[in-house]
Structure 1
């Protein structure tokens, strides 16, 4: 199977499906993105109701999974410089209304896997070329946004899911190798995949449940080593 072409094929199917239901005129006015200065306004309501939740979501859904993907492929980058640089870049680009700069989990899965290059020391080239591609395709951000928002959600999910298949398999294998951590890892995955939420915290409930199971396991008399 040509796994390398799975994501481009899914994108091609998504484009074909979109074209069959939408005329090209639907893209009128969206060809060129514009940069507009956004005046920063700091209020306690925005800090508590917007900034803090977005920070937690970014850490839980992008930065931590991104580091986990890198660790799956035996990469151990220093986290402090990464967060300092991405935080400063996020503060700068926020003046133009851009989203936060983070360790995107899907991008990490694509660039860190053996599909990028069998030699781990050469996989940085995939990230470098991918970054240049992102900059070039930024000119078509308006077209992409229109196509994504008007495409069936299942097609977008399929593209993202295919990109993470390899990373998911490697992460799952690593999570269940140690028997003592196996139950906690499976609980984390199952609770997260179930979509169960508590007061809207969908992404954090799975790790919290896994952590609770892990702590209960190590505190139980059965798990304590015999003296």
Structure 2
């Protein structure tokens, strides 16, 4: 007697793996840098309510862009807020303008980002800025913020030391979650250390709200915020984001991506957001093997990340209230830990080429000095000085 084997149905990849990859992408992206965003927005004049509105607006804008780009292109294109840009804002507190002018500068940043997709020569002009110089400016901007965790050890050691310990432990055993774990520890410590009145305030701000800000436009804000924010967002987020996707053999639709994130940035700016862009580091989570073996379905991870970002955005008001009630310096310390890896990679890139090392070093020092001249912050002058030194001295040597 013979038996006939029943052919098994072909295995089909499910949606579970890319959806989980999208969840991880959103969790890592949000929890590892929300403190940097809040610190940056408040540094240029936002109230706590306006900073919470900006955080929520950025989350919604990047979620819409991620869903739209991934859905229509069927590629795992993820978006994020500009973390280096937020760090740049944190170093711009000394400049002499108000929140309305900062919002106007955010709007113009979005316009420039969109223009790089619509106007080819603008993209070529941006590409002419030496990458080491842009990275040197970013490293200088990050320096003061990255010192915050260690400075805080002398002022609030009992609050900061546990955060650093948690960060180190996760850095040893689960590096991807080191920064989110440190952020969670900081928020937990803030919750335990606040008084009853502060706790009531947090509970009363569970639902997010959006606050419209009428923009004001000025040359000082354009030079101090728009130009440096545009350069670091493009050089440190959008260009690497394209490279990350290319490493997984996905081509990024440059024109569509820049138009979407640029217009999304300008729209979010009216509500307090500074800039959104292509994701760089977290892009690998949605484009790599963690999103499933079936490459044709990895775009689902990018779409799901947008949905999870919206859910996280709903907690923006409560997170902002909790961060506001935390001991002074704790939020900045957590933000500094989040940016240490970025500082390391930026400094390494800035000083890697011996032929341009001096101009990069000067740009780094000026950006890190906190220089403010003629109402314009150090990031702009770092670019000017670095480009001048490169053109007048370094090019003549070669």
What is the distance in 1 between the residues matched to 2:368 and 2:240?
17
Q: Residue in 2 aligned with 1:214?
A: 390
In structure 2, what is the equivalent of residue 103 of structure 1?
277
Post-superposition shift, 1:111? 1.2
Q: Does 1:47 align with 2:221?
A: no
Q: 1:171, CA displacement in angstroms?
A: 3.0
**Closer, same or farther: CA 174–121 of 1 in aligned 2, 3 Å:** farther
- The correspondence of residues 1-227 of structure 1 with structure 2, limited to 5 A, is 1-2=172-173, 3-22=175-194, 23=196, 24-35=199-210, 38=212, 46-48=216-218, 52=222, 55-56=226-227, 58-60=229-231, 62-67=233-238, 69-70=240-241, 80-93=255-268, 97-103=271-277, 108=280, 110-112=281-283, 116=285, 130-152=305-327, 154-198=329-373, 199-220=375-396, 223-224=397-398
Q: 1:181 to 1:57 in 2, by over 3 A?
A: closer
Report the number of matched residues: 211
> Taking structure 1 as reference, are residues 188 and 51 closer, same or farther at Cα in structure 2, changes over 3 Å only?
closer
**Aligned CA distance change for structure 1 residues 195 and 178 (closer, same or farther; 3 Å):** same
TM-score (norm 1): 0.70
Deviation of 1:34 after TM superposition, in Å, equals 2.9
Larger radius of gyration: 2
Q: Is there any run of 5+ residues in structure 1 with no aligned partner, and where? A: none
Cα distance in 1 for partners of 2:365, 2:324 equals 29
Q: Counterpart in 1 of 2:139? A: none
Contact 1:72 1:170 in 2 (8 A): no
Unaligned runs of at least 5 residues, structure 2: 1-171, 292-297
Is the 2:370–2:377 contact (alpha carbons within 8 Å) kept by the matching residues of 1? no
**How many angstroms apart in 2 are the aligned matches of 1:10 and 1:197?**
32
TM superposition score normalised by structure 2 = 0.43
Contact 1:184 1:211 survives alignment (8 Å): yes
Task: Sort the Cα spacing of 1:158 and 1:14 in 2 relative to 1 into closer, same or farther, 3 A.
Answer: same
- Does the aligned pair in 1 maintain the 2:221–2:376 contact within 8 Å? no
Cα deviation, residue 30, structure 1 = 0.6
Deviations, residues 61-104 of structure 1 (Å, cap 9, x unaligned): 54443236547869695654333212322444456x25244228
Q: Post-superposition shift, 1:133? A: 3.2
- Larger RCO (alpha carbons 8 Å, 6+ apart): 2
CA positional deviation for 1:178: 1.8
State the distance in 2 between where 1:201 and 1:138 align: 31
Distance 1:19 1:170, change over 3 A: same
Indicate conservation of the 8 Å contact 1:61/1:203, yes or no: no
What is the alpha-carbon root mean square deviation over aligned residues?
Answer: 3.8
